[in-house]
Amino acid sequence: MTNGDETEVVPGDRDPRVRGRVGPRCVPGLATVALIAASVACFAVAGAGVRGALALALGALAIEGMVLALLDARNVGPCGDDWTGFLLAPAGVVLLATGVCVLWRARRGGRYRHLRRAGFAVLAVVSACWLVAPLAMAIAATHRPRQAVSAVDLGRPNEPVTLKTRDGLRLAAWYVRSGNGAAVISYPTRAGKLPQVRMLIRRGYGVLLLDARGYDASDGSPNLLGWGETKDIDAAIDWLRRQPDVHDGRIGGIGFSVGGEVMLEAAAGNPGLRAVVSEGAGIRSVREELVYGARAIPTLPAQLVQTTAVAILSGTLPPPSLRDLVPRLAPRPLFLIHAEHGGGGEDLNPSYYRAAGRPKQLWKVRGACHTGGIEADPHAYEARVVRFLDQSLLGKEQP
């Protein structure tokens, strides 16, 4: 299928031409190498205990980079900073061995040795929680391993297409034509939430399943926090507006986890998104962490380190807080869904709901885990989501 300059057939489930245009994904790996080099230089002036702890921390981060590179290469073949990740393996092993040896040799006796060791253990735990773990999360967020996507049965035929963003990236997508004149964008992966997609297709909705930038067969560098991905949704809206089966701009979006967060931000800036279902939205930077108020004090240092690290590794500034964005959706309808046993800040959804204008809905799915509403209560999930979209996009009255 061809529709202008911004859409073309993707031959097969993974087009090597698309993969060959992946953006500068070497930044995370090179930044990690630079961090290791600078830290090794500090060994000359630091004490034995600090040198040993630093070597262990950097060794663990280097091994993480190597594991992420191996997973990416295994799934879709090596490319970009995967090669840098492979080189981190020997560096990580050497640093881990060095850290163990330095700490072992630095043991000191004396009557206060137990107190010193207890203090060092507390400092190590605090450093791991507030520094090492956030850095590890930032590396993982900016170097998500791609997945090979196979053909799936959606209940109706789908068309493989690519979308072009305004910053020049090409995104892989599948589209199932609409039977009722309305279409829904499913984000952030094509194969991630197939039960929800099949549910919408059964009800006559067209569905555009989209791989986010840096995900799977789409161009660009990944960011698991969704920073800068509103351009993906903008491209999807522009494409759907030109489809003959979509009438009068009846376009909605359903996003899961980070996809729900991106949908909220995209709708705040693009009125072409007529209705939004956001499931599992939570925290994506220190700005959402601050919504907790005083409760955020214990976790604020870690979130600040993670936000700073992601900004450096991705070259992208953190987006505004979701609480500040959701009021801009009104008067377009908003449906916020969060799980009883969710994570990653899902419990902030009531705060987002209070900040949003009307019309709006909030549903806490009992017994559900993160983005698992359809598994926990499939009948209620279908009834609520379809009723919301029917009313928002088709003008049907609720019973």
pLDDT tens profile 70-125: 888 887 777 766 777 787 888 888 888 888 887 777 766 666 667 766 776 787 78
Q: What's the gap between Cα 371 and its chain centre?
A: 13
Per DSSP, 223 falls in state -
- CA-nearest of 227, 153, 150, 228 to 189 is 150
Q: Which two tokens stand for residue 29?
A: 């790996």
Q: What is the pTM of this model?
A: 0.85
Q: For the chain, what's the residue count?
A: 399
Q: pLDDT band for 15, please (50, 70, 90 cuts).
A: very low
pLDDT at 123: 78
Cβ-based neighbours of 250, under 8 Å, separated by 6 or more: 181, 182, 183, 274, 393, 394
pLDDT at 390: 98
Q: pLDDT band for 210, please (50, 70, 90 cuts).
A: very high
Share of the chain above pLDDT 70, in %: 85
Question: 89-108 burial, b for 16+ CB within 10 Å, e for fewer?
Answer: bebbeebbebbeebbeeeee
Q: How far is it, in rounded angstroms, from Cα 309 to Cα 156?
A: 43
Strand ranges, E, within 302-395: 334-341, 360-369
Domains of the chain: 24-141 (no CATH), 159-284+319-394 (3.40.50.1820)
pLDDT at 77: 79
pLDDT tens profile 32-78: 567 667 766 776 676 777 778 888 888 888 888 888 888 888 877 77
